[in-house]
Amino acid sequence: MSAKLFTIHLLGTSHTMSLFGQSQKKTSKDVRGVLGRFLDGTGGPYEFDDFVSFRISDPRLETIRERCDRLHSEFPPELPGHYCGEGGVEVMRRFIQELEDDAAQPCAQRTSPAVALAATAATLPPTMQPTTPTSAVAELGSLAVFTP
């Protein structure tokens, strides 16, 4: 049985959503690829929008997806037509680097989502700090996510 999809229109954009709330099965490599193509401008016209619009079944990658979905409000774009400001671009670059580093390590040595997100936020220069607070961390079992 396939999930039924419907399209909603918000502020002039279309988002296709699953009626059953099913998650995507994405790998670290998939997420690195989407972020890399988005940053270098080689992704499809809706690839990044699809990435941030659909939940990912892997909790660590879902945390990254959720953070990327908020970057435009945390780091407002400085130029028209851009998704986010330079601070948001730097966050995505660091996610790519962390996913590449983790892929090269044995599973037991990989960085947790909370540690990765805290390290990313803590190392941004003051001029690249988000315009909305991201220091509050909500613990959800073994998964910690930033809450604005």
Residue 27 is given by DSSP the state -
> Which residues lie across from 28 on neighbouring strands?
none
pLDDT in tens, 110-140: 556 555 555 556 566 665 655 554 433 333 3
pLDDT in tens, 39-56: 999 999 999 999 999 999
- How many whole angstroms separate alpha carbon 58 and alpha carbon 63? 9
The answer on pLDDT for 108 being more than 90 is: no
The answer on pLDDT for 24 being more than 70 is: yes
Six-digit token string for 4 = 């039924």
Cα dihedral 91, 93, 97, 100, rounded to 10, equals 110
The answer on pLDDT for 141 being more than 50 is: no
Mean residue pLDDT across the chain: 75
- Contacts of residue 129, defined as CB under 8 A and 6 or more positions apart, other chains included, come to 87, 121
**What does DSSP say about strands 5-10 and 13-18: parallel, antiparallel, or unpaired?**
antiparallel
pLDDT (average), residues 34-41 = 97
Residue 145 is given by DSSP the state E
pLDDT (average), residues 66-83 = 96
